Structures are given as structure tokens and as C-alpha cells.
Amino acid sequence: MRLKILLGIIGWVLFLTVAVLEFIEMYNYKRIKVEILGLSLLAFALIFASIKIRPSE
């Protein structure tokens, strides 16, 4: 269980880090369509990670 929590925290940190970097990149280079796709993929990864964190019942 602790491993799942640890992986969840690492996932959140990675998600936030990449999200900030993606936002900076989008602001700098104006590649909006590519960035929206990337952020949507990150959102799916985050949802998947959140589901994995929940204890299986």
C-alpha cells in the first residue's frame, strides 16, 4: 500500500513538473494544438495513476 502511495506522489510531482514545462513551452513557441494534445495525454495518465492509487476492493 505504501508503494502505491509513493508512486502516486511521484506521479503527481512528475505531472505538475511536466505540466509547468509544457505551459512554458506553449507560451514561448505558440504550438497550441500540440500542447493541448500533450496535456490531454497527461490528464489521462493522471486519471490512470489516481485509479491505481485507490485500494482495490
| CA distance linking residue 34 with residue 3, whole number of Å | 33
Residue 57 lies in a domain: no
> Mean pLDDT, to the nearest integer, of 40-47?
79
pLDDT band at 39 (very low <50, low <70, confident <90, very high): confident
Domains identified in the chain, total number: 1
Residue 35: which domain range? 2-52
Assess whether pLDDT exceeds 70 at residue 37.
Answer: yes
pLDDT band at 54 (very low <50, low <70, confident <90, very high): low
Of all residues in the chain, what percent are helix, strand and coil, respectively (each to 5)? Answer: 90, 0, 10
Q: What is the pLDDT of residue 9?
A: 80
Query: How large is the C-alpha radius of gyration of the chain?
Result: 14
pLDDT band at 26 (very low <50, low <70, confident <90, very high): low
Assess whether pLDDT exceeds 60 at residue 4.
Answer: yes
| CA distance linking residue 27 with residue 15, whole number of Å | 18
Residue 39 lies in a domain: yes
